[in-house]
Structure 1
Amino acid sequence: MTLAAPLRAQGASQERTLNLVALGDSLTAGYGLPADAAFPVQLEAALKARGQAVTIANAGVSGDTATGGLDRVDWSVPDGTDGVILELGANDMLRGTDPSVTEKALDAIIVRLKGRGIPVLLAGMRAAPNLGPDYGRRFDAIYPRLAERHGLILYPFFLDGIAGDRGLNLADGLHPTRAGVERVVAGILPSVEDFLKRLRKGP
């Protein structure tokens, strides 16, 4: 018994490494930043610092829309992926794309991943005020509706805490600085940890 107890404790602490993919646009890709400052890299480091056994692949493509993400989801998310952080829709919003088009594409991405047994954490986006209240209501409703429909963990607004803050965004006012990404990571971290718990628990 003196040997068995330490062995059990050791086994319990050696969790399998979970392989995530961050599927997104320039906000995921790390537009204008060194590679080590991109969201997936910073998030992985923050999770590992908290004792999480996880890797996060960067499948962000600058300029991508939700439809663009749907077109490439099969090869951007390889077999063996345990979960996906889905961050798309900002470019749809900036282009004034009909929110129904964005929602349909995001829904199709989620359905396709679920069909492969790959759970999704949904990172939401919100419409800029200059697009008007009607567009804003329709666009902002996409993410809560999808999360409810598919039983997903939702982080309501990916840019929470940094949108409109000149000190945390590059000169274009759209993309976060390294410090801005750090703020994003700090905000989304509890949701991601809940997601990891769900992945380890299984269906």
Structure 2
Amino acid sequence: MTVWLVRHGATEWSETHRHTGRTDVPLITAGEVAARDLASALDGREFDLVLTSPLQRARRTAVLAGFDEAVPDDDLVEWGYGEYEGVTTATIRETVPGWTVWTHPCPGGETAETIAERLDRVIARTRAVDGDSLVFGHGHALRAFAARWLGEPVSVGRFLRLDTSAYSKLGYEREQPVILAWNVPA
């Protein structure tokens, strides 16, 4: 049993490093091209469960990668950044030195505990499947997903860079949850 994680293709906001939580921005042309390139990496693989964030950048990536049957799951939306939605880390650090989503709060946004609760529900859903699962989502949420898969706090996601249109694989070595591949480009 493996779980494949796919980060959505590039958007205008991801290219300009703006925190894109719940704002439903579309893919840019380069993001659509890279999403189509994912089809070859995923081609011929059988998945018993295919989930996607309901936000259009993830849903569109799923469709372009050949998985238009992906089931939207609200628990896969990106981190709720609150007042930091649409703001870059550099701008936030002008008033909160050293800020990261992994170490500091997002005023009016989600906590790491809230993220862990909803991603744990998705993990339980994938672990209930006898075969492989495929999940389309977002940068911070998928990094947090991997941390929770390993039984670690969400903050461990800070060590897992994840580029747009990249895929990763989670699985087991014997009974131990492990990362099988990480941040593989399309």
Q: Which bin holds the TM-score, normalised by the shorter protein? A: 0.3 to 0.5
| Larger helix share, 1 or 2 | 1
TM-score, length-scaled by structure 1? 0.33
Larger radius of gyration: 1
TM-score, normalization: structure 2? 0.35
